[in-house]
Structure 1
C-alpha cells in the first residue's frame, strides 16, 4: 500500500478534470471516494492558483451520495449543521464531530486489537470464525474507515467480495462454528 501518511495529491485542471499525480491519470469523484474508503487521505488543489479545494470536493462527494438515497446524516443533524454555520457565534460542532469520529475509530481499533491473536481467548475453538465475522460486521458498519482493519484477515483475499458473497461466507462460518460447538458438547 502507498504511504498513507502523505496525502494523495489530486490536481484540478482548468477544464475541471481531476488528475491523480501518483498514477498519472484522470480520476472521478467516485474514484476519490474509493481512495478515502480505502483509508487514503487526499488533497485536491487547483493547478493554476494552488488553492486547496479538498473541502469543497469532499462536501460534493457527500452531497452526491445523499442525493442518491445513500442517506447517512439524519435531517436533524443536517439542520444542526446549518444552524451552526448560520449563527454568528463560534461553534463547537466541528470539534465535537472530530472528537466523535476519533473516538469511533479508536474504539473500533481497540475492539479489533482485543480480538487479535495476542488475546488468550483467540485460542478457543471457532474464534477465527468469530473474528472474521466481527471484522466483516465492523467493515460494513463503518464503510471501511481507517483503523478498522488492524487485524490481519484469516485468509488473504484476492478481491473485495460482493456483499452477497459476504453474507454467504458469514452463513457458512456460522454453520462451521455451530458444528464445532456441537462437537465440544
Structure 2
C-alpha cells in the first residue's frame, strides 16, 4: 500500500500526458483534483527536465473549476491577488494566505469534531450557525470588512460567541505575525 504522507509523484511526458508512478497509469487533471480532495499531496514533475510543475497544474485545476461556474474565489480576492504580483506586498501575501488557510483548516476540523460529538437526535445540524459565523468573521477579517459584509452580526446565534472570540484572537495573532514579517 502507498505511503499517504509522501507526495504522490506524477510525471509529465513530452506528450503532456500525466503518469501516476504509484499505479502505473495515466491520469487527468480531474484525477489529480480528486487525489487532493481526498487529502493526498501531489508533486508533478517534467520527466525530461525534472522541473517541478505542481504549482502550474494546481492553478490550471483551479482555473478550470472557476470557468465551469464552481466559483470559490470572489472577484475582489482575485483582483487583490493580481495586484499583489505588482506591489511590495508580494513578500507578505504568501505567508498570509498560508496562515489563513491553516487557521481555516483548524477551525473546520474543530467544528467537525464538535458536530460529531453532539447528540444525533437533534433536528438541526449542530454548530451550523456557529460555523457560518466563523466563516463570516474569517472573511471579514481577511478582507478588512470590505467583501462579504452582510450587515450587523446576529445577536441570537447560539454558542457562536465563544468560537468568534477564538477566531478574533487567532486573527490578532496572525496580524501580529504579518506585521513582523512586513518589517
TM tier relative to shorter chain: 0.5 to 0.7
Contact 2:2 2:22 in 1 (8 A): no
Going from structure 1 to structure 2, the CA distance change for 1:78 and 1:90 (only over 3 Å counts) comes to: closer
1:129 is displaced (CA, Å) by 8.8
By relative contact order (CA 8 Å, sep 6+), the higher-ranking structure is: 1
Question: Corresponding residue for 1:10?
Answer: 10
Matched, 1:126 2:115: no
Residue segments in structure 2 that go unaligned for 5+ positions in a row:
136-183
- SS of the residue corresponding to residue 45 of structure 1 reads strand
RMSD: 2.8
Q: Which residue of 2 aligns with 1:45?
A: 45
1:127 Cα deviation after fit: 5.5
Q: What residue is the counterpart of 2:27 in the other structure?
A: 27
Q: Which residue of 2 aligns with 1:67?
A: 67
Show CA shifts across 1:87-145 (max 9, x none).
2554311111111111111011112223445xxxx4x46159957x97xx99xx9xxxx
Distance 1:2 1:130 in 2: 36
Q: Distance in 2 between matches of 1:57 and 1:67?
A: 15
Which residues of 2 match residues 1-185 of structure 1 at below 5 A?
A: 2-88=2-88, 90-117=90-117, 122=118, 124=119, 126=121, 130=125
SS at 2:85 equivalent: helix
Which string of whole-angstrom CA distances, capped at 9 and with x for unpartnered residues, describes residues 28-63 of structure 1?
Answer: 001111111111110000111111000000001111
For 2:19 and 2:116, the matched residues in 1 are separated by 39
Q: Quote the Cα distance in structure 1 between the aligned partners of 2:121 and 2:90.
A: 52
- TM-score scaled by length of structure 2: 0.63
